[in-house]
Structure 1
Amino acid sequence: MKLFCLPFAGSSAVIYEKWKKRLAAHAAVIPLELAGRGVRTNDPFYEGMADAAKDVLERLKAQMDGTPYGLFGHSMGGMIMYEVCHLIREQGLQPPEALFFSGRPAPEVLRKEAPIHELPDDEFAQEILDMGATSAELFAHKQLMDIFMPILRADFRLVETYVYEDRGPLPWPLTIVAGVDEKWTEADLEAWTRHTTAECLIVRMEGGHFYLQENAELLMDFLQSRLTISKSIESLFA
C-alpha cells in the first residue's frame, strides 16, 4: 500500500520523511510536496483551494498504478485532501483504501479566528508565534524569515479564503485524528460523520494541534493498525 501525505500550513513534505522507515512494513510513505516550497520552490503559490486540489490530484494520478493507497493530511493538508477526494470520486479514479484527516474539523466548520494573511509582517509573525506554529528563532533571522514568511502567508490565505461547498458524502471510510488539547470541539469533529456513507472513526491523542510531532510514536502505532486493517479488507476483494 502507498500512503500519500500532505503537510500543514507553512511546512514542507519533508516532515514526513521520518515516517518512511517507521511505516515501511505497512505502507510506502510518499510525501506530496505543495507548490512554492521544498523541491517546488520555484512553482507559484496556489490561487485558491481549487487550484491546490487540482495540482495535488495530478501528482496523485501520476502514481496511481492499481496499488492500494491511502491519504493523510494534517490541518491545511486535510483541507486540500478533502477537495481532492471529491475530485477522485467525480472523475471515477482509483479510490483510496484509507483516509486520515488530521487536526481538522469537518470542512463546513467555520474558522473562529479573524483572518491574518493580510496583516503587516510584524503583526502576522506575532499571530503565528501565538499559535505555536513555529519558534521565535524563525523570525529572528531575516534570511529564514524571507524564505518562510511568503509560504506562511500564502498558506493562511489558502485556508482563510476557503469556501465550503456541499458536494455530498464520500463513499469511503474516514479516520479523524486530533489532539486532546486541540481547539476543535467534539461537535466539530463529530460533524465528519456526515461526510461519509461508510465508517467514520474519531480518535483523540495526547497533545495539541501538533500532536503528530509531540506524540509521534503513538500516531505511528495507530497508523500501522489502521493500515493493516485496510490491507486485510482490500485482500478480501482482491
Structure 2
Amino acid sequence: MTTEHVTSAAQRWFVSARPRPDAPVRLLALPHAGGSAAAYIRWAELLPPEVDLAVVQLPGRQDRRSTSPFVDSETLVNALYDVLEENWDGRPYALFGHSMGALLAYRLTGLIDRIGGPRPVLLAVSGWAPAAHRTSDRAVEMYSDDELIDAVGAFGALPPELVADPQLRELVMPVLRADFSVLNSFVPDGAPVGVPVVAYAGADDPALPPGAMAGWAALTPDLRGVTEFPGGHFALFEHAMTLTADLTRQLRRLVAKPE
C-alpha cells in the first residue's frame, strides 16, 4: 500500500511525531515494559530526514488506554505481524526495541522468517538478550502493587511522582502487570533470525550478566556490533544522540542509495 493510504489500525498502532513519507527507510521502535510511544518521540529530532521514525503504541496506554493490553507474548507478536504486513508501504524498514520491546522485535522478526512477509533490513536490540531472559518466580497476579513497583523500580523505570500518586499508580498498574505477563510468557528456544543484528546495553544494567549481548552472535548471520553505554538499564535514553547516530550509520550501509 502507499503512504497516502494508512488504515485506522495503523494510526492506532503507530505514532509518528514527524512523518517523513519520502524517506528511503523506516525505523519502527517498540517500547519497554510499562512504556509507551512517548519514550521515543524525541528521537525524530535526532534522526536525519532520510529515516522515517514510527513508534509502536501498544494497547492499554495513553490514547489506547481503553483497549485491553496483551498478556501473552506470542499473541502480541502475531498482532504486530498482522498490522505490519497490512500497512507495509514498500520501503525498507528496521526494527528497534528496548527490553520487552527487544523481545517483541526479535520474535516478530522470527515470525516473519517463518511465515513470510516484508523482512526488516536490521534488527536493533537494547537491554535484552534471549540467553539472559529470566522470568519472575511467581505469576504476576500474585504480586501486590507495592511488590511489583519495587521490582520495576530496581531498574530505574518509575519516576518518584508516579509511585507517590495513587491516581497515577491506578492508571499504570494494569499495563505493568500485563507487560510483565508478556515477559513471563516468553520461553527462549534459541531460534535464529535471518537478518543483521546490532545490539546496545548499559554497562551496569542489572538485567544483563556480563557479555550477554554478545550472545546475539549465535542468533544472526551478521552481528554488526555491540555497544555499551555508561549507565544502567535505561542508559539508551541518556545516550540517545549516540545511539541514533549509530543506527543511522547502520541503515545507510544497509540501504545504500542507487548510483
What TM-score do you get using the length of structure 1 for normalisation? Answer: 0.90
Moved more, 52-61 or 108-117: 108-117
8 Å CA contact retained: 2:131, 2:212: no
What residue in structure 2 maps to residue 80 of structure 1? 104
Q: Which amino acid aligns with 1:125?
A: I
Please give the alpha-carbon distance, in whole angstroms, between the structure 2 residues aligned to 1:122 and 1:221. 38
Q: 1:63 to 1:151 in 2, by over 3 A?
A: same
- Aligned length in residues: 233
Residue pairs, 1:124-135, within 5 angstroms: 124-135=148-159
Matched, 1:178 2:201: yes
8 Å CA contact retained: 2:106, 2:123: no
CA shift for structure 1 position 74: 0.4
SS in 2 for 1:204: strand
8 Å CA contact retained: 2:132, 2:209: no
Match of 1:17 among 14, 27, 41: 41
Moved more, 110-119 or 82-91: 110-119
Match of 1:52 among 55, 61, 76: 76
CA shift for structure 1 position 115: 4.5
SS in 2 for 1:197: coil
Q: Which amino acid aligns with 1:27?
A: V
Residue pairs, 1:1-238, within 5 angstroms: 1-105=25-129, 107-111=130-134, 114-115=137-138, 117=140, 118-167=142-191, 169-183=192-206, 184-232=208-256, 235=257
Please give the alpha-carbon distance, in whole angstroms, between the structure 2 residues aligned to 1:201 and 1:214. 20
Q: 1:166 to 1:223 in 2, by over 3 A?
A: closer
Unaligned runs of at least 5 residues, structure 2: 1-24
Q: Which amino acid aligns with 2:65?
A: T
Q: Which amino acid aligns with 1:195?
A: L
Please give the alpha-carbon distance, in whole angstroms, between the structure 1 residues aligned to 2:155 and 2:133. 17
Q: For 1:95-145, what per-residue CA distance to the aligned partner results, in whole angstroms no more than 9, with x for missing partners?
A: 11121011112x143417644733111222222223311122102111111
Moved more, 107-116 or 209-218: 107-116
8 Å CA contact retained: 2:102, 2:126: yes
Please give the alpha-carbon distance, in whole angstroms, between the structure 1 residues aligned to 2:147 and 2:223. 42
Please give the alpha-carbon distance, in whole angstroms, between the structure 2 residues aligned to 1:217 and 1:116. 37
What TM-score do you get using the length of structure 2 for normalisation? Answer: 0.83
8 Å CA contact retained: 1:56, 1:84: yes
Of all paired residues, the percent bearing the same amino acid is 30
CA shift for structure 1 position 173: 0.7
SS in 1 for 2:153: helix
Q: Which amino acid aligns with 2:114?
A: E
- Structure 1 segments, 4+ long, off by >6 Å, are none
8 Å CA contact retained: 1:9, 1:156: yes
8 Å CA contact retained: 2:30, 2:102: yes
Unaligned runs of at least 5 residues, structure 1: none
Please give the alpha-carbon distance, in whole angstroms, between the structure 2 residues aligned to 1:198 and 1:208. 26
